[in-house]
Structure 1
Amino acid sequence: MPGIGKIIFRIMIAIIVILLLLIALIIGIGVAGNKLTIAVTGVYTVGRISDDAILGCTFIPDTTQANNIQWEKVGTSGVVYKYENGKSLLNGQNADFKGRTSLFISEIKSGNASLKLTQIELSDAGTYKCIITNSKGTGEDTLTFKVGGYTDVVVTSPSNDTLRCTSSDWYPKPNVTWESNSEDNITNTIKTTYPPALFNLTDVTSELHGAQLDVEYTCKIHTVLAQAVGVSMLTDFGLQTTARLEVFNSVDPLSVPRLWICALLLSLLLGFVHH
């Protein structure tokens, strides 16, 4: 009958084998699923109508030879941008993007393939592909680009017991909610209107009546892309307010390179063996 030491040793070997198989499986899924030979990471982005935006894309560069970059938008013909052998090749560029795209040329050698898009339009929203080719191979990733309208909120007090939140140029049409740090029910004291604005946008005006002194009221104008928050309080010394605008930009968790997961598993494995 094998001793305790041999049993423990066999268990450790089994764990190591399982971890190695798991690492191989993850690498296999990454290669088979995305057909990547170099790691490329696209970043989920939110852009505001008429502003400029940066569609993030990074990759592992070849520092000795050319890194060719091609941006495409899923569902459209032509390219969004093409960079090959150190030059921009825009003959096949989709007409919707002419004069509105550029790369950060000096940063390509560091692995930055991000695309700058100017004068954003609603039609720019969609799924984009960042495709990289160099001597190491070819890799690509997709990213989602959301476009909307949103601005800061301004809180005023048109009368002694009224608070008014105003904000302009929202898309899609936002929801408005009010909160207070008192126990009073304020639901029936609120009136919100949405005056139309240019380019399918909408303005927002929301009033709360019956506001009390020294009670904190919060007005939130929000969509799935952004929210404007105004906090106010009526005092004996006048109206006190603060405001902030939050845009829900975030890295798409599905586009984190699987290589990082493998590296983490490998480091755990080595640490286990060492101990």
Structure 2
Amino acid sequence: MIVIIILLLAAIALIIGLSISGNSTTNDVTTVNAVGQIGQDVILSCTFTPDVKQSSNVLWEKVGDTGVVYKYENGKIVLTDQNSNFKSRASLFINQLSAGNASLKITNVQMKDAGVYKCTITNSNGQGSNKLSLNVGAFSDVTVTNISQTTLQCSSPKWFPQPTVSWLNISASGSNLNTTLPQFVTGLSGMVQVISNFIEVQKDVQYRCVIQNNLAQAQGDAILTDFGLQTQSQLIILSSARMTSPPRLLLGLLLLILHLGAVNV
């Protein structure tokens, strides 16, 4: 137990050192990891405690890239040193800064946009920053049709990275089914169209096709009855954990130490 407490104290010391070197004060900044769809827009969330005394300066950077992604300083947009990759594609919701919203919008997302971003806020509360990860890929809803009275076909137009495909018998507690190998048809930007067939379909049994990669999961349910095929589908974006600034991490570790101490007593 003593060893665990010592290790936790060492971790706290490391976090304090990183916090002091990276931030002038403990201005609390919160970010959330994001998932972007190729060719569409994405919002990188960054919130902070609103400052009623003065306008907040906002700096967005991408770790490993030269130049800034976006800068708002002294009430003005400053893009003289902006990375060319983000020219005309990055923007803030400036009218929401007074409410503590410094989220960044990136239009026409590309694979090269994936990476780690840093949001830094400076105002009368001091300076604070936090990072988030942006994962980029492709995913789309699924359509289930019956191409015969004994065969269901599941299709979805664009995925990247290449997903896995599985069929489940929902009426039998979600048991896995043996299916033919799915087809992956290569398209633009490395995206693939997915086609998968399930044979030996029985009437009045609910089947589910699941297409999934590390970014999203598409589900298509189908029941073949005497009156035709009934279907429903949903697309689920696999969300990532919220990232908080060092003060909250310190609080969590301190609470854990106090709990371990109480248990030890």
Say whether the fold is shared (TM-score over 0.5).
yes
Instruction: Kindly indicate whether the alpha-carbon contact (under 8 Å) linking 2:119 and 2:131 is maintained by their aligned counterparts in 1.
Output: yes
C-alpha displacement at 1:29, in angstroms? 5.8
Residue aligning to 1:273: none
Unaligned runs of 5+ in 2: 1-8, 259-265
- Distance in 2 separating the partners of 1:62 and 1:154: 48
Identity between Structure 1 and Structure 2 (%): 45
- Distance in 2 separating the partners of 1:175 and 1:58: 35
- Distance in 2 separating the partners of 1:85 and 1:185: 59
- Distance in 2 separating the partners of 1:48 and 1:62: 33
Which has the higher Rg, Structure 1 or Structure 2? Answer: 1
Q: Specify the SS of the correspondent of 1:191.
A: coil
Q: Specify the SS of the correspondent of 2:85.
A: helix
C-alpha displacement at 1:26, in angstroms? 9.1
Per-residue CA deviations over 1:9-33 (Å, capped at 9, x if unaligned) read xxxxxxxxxxxxxxx9998665433
67-76 vs 31-40, which moves further: 31-40
Match of 2:144 among 136, 145, 155: 155
Instruction: Kindly indicate whether the alpha-carbon contact (under 8 Å) linking 2:168 and 2:176 is maintained by their aligned counterparts in 1.
Output: no
Match of 2:219 among 203, 219, 229: 229
Q: Would the alpha carbon gap of residues 236 and 142 (structure 1) be closer, same or farther in structure 2, given more than 3 Å must change?
A: same
- Distance in 1 separating the partners of 2:245 and 2:206: 41
Q: Does 1:103 align with 2:92?
A: yes
Match of 2:111 among 122, 125, 146: 122
- Trace 1:178-193 onto structure 2 (pairs within 5 A): 178-180=167-169, 181-182=171-172, 186-187=177-178, 189-193=179-183
- Trace 1:79-228 onto structure 2 (pairs within 5 A): 79-180=68-169, 181-182=171-172, 186-187=177-178, 189-228=179-218
Per the normalisation by structure 2, the TM-score is 0.84
236-245 vs 25-34, which moves further: 25-34
Q: Would the alpha carbon gap of residues 160 and 141 (structure 1) be closer, same or farther in structure 2, given more than 3 Å must change?
A: same
- Distance in 1 separating the partners of 2:54 and 2:12: 26
Unaligned runs of 5+ in 1: 1-23, 269-275
Q: Would the alpha carbon gap of residues 162 and 45 (structure 1) be closer, same or farther in structure 2, given more than 3 Å must change?
A: same
C-alpha displacement at 1:251, in angstroms? 3.2
